[in-house]
Amino acid sequence: MPLNHYVTLGRSGLRVSPFCLGTMTFGQEWSIGVGADESARVLDAYLERGGNFVDTANIYNKGHSEKILGDHLSANGKRGRVVLATKFCGGMDTTDPNSGGAGRKAIMAACEQSLRRLKTDYIDLYWMHFLDAHTPIDETMRTLDMLVTQGKVRYLGFSDVPAWKVVQAQYEAIFRSWTPLAALQIEYSLLERSVEADLIPMAREMGLGVTPWSPLKYGILSGKYTRDTRPKDGRGASEWVTRHLTDHAFRVIETLHETAKEQGCTPAQAALAWLSRRPGVTSTIIGAKTLTQLEENLKGLEVTLSPASIARLDEVTKPTLPFPHDFLQMIPTVIHGGQTINSVCAPPWGNAPKGDNDRH
3-state helix, strand, coil split of the chain in percent (to 5) is 40, 15, 45
**Residue from 325, 289, 287, 262 nearest 189 by CA:** 287
Instruction: Please give the Cα distance from 46 to 305 (Å, whole number).
Output: 24
Active-site position among 60, 126, 188, 218: 60
Active site residue 6: no
Cis omega (within 30 of 0) on the bond before 324? yes
Q: What angle do CA 332, 333, 339 make, to 5 degrees?
A: 85
CB–CB of 153/122 below 8 Å?
yes
**From CA 108, how far away is CA 168, in angstroms rounded?**
22
| Helix axes 137-149 and 104-118, enclosed angle (nearest 10) | 40
Closest residue by Cα to residue 24 from 78, 54, 65, 62: 65
Q: What sign has the CA pseudo-torsion 167, 203, 315, 256?
A: negative
- Helix (H) or strand (E) segment spanning residue 174: helix 163-175
Q: H helices within 17-57, ranges in order? A: 36-48
Query: Does the bond joining 231 to the residue before it have cis omega, within 30 degrees of 0?
Result: no
Non-local (6+) Cβ contacts of 120 within 8 A are: 70, 73, 74, 79, 84
Closest CA to 129 of 187, 33, 57: 57
So which residues are the catalytic ones?
60
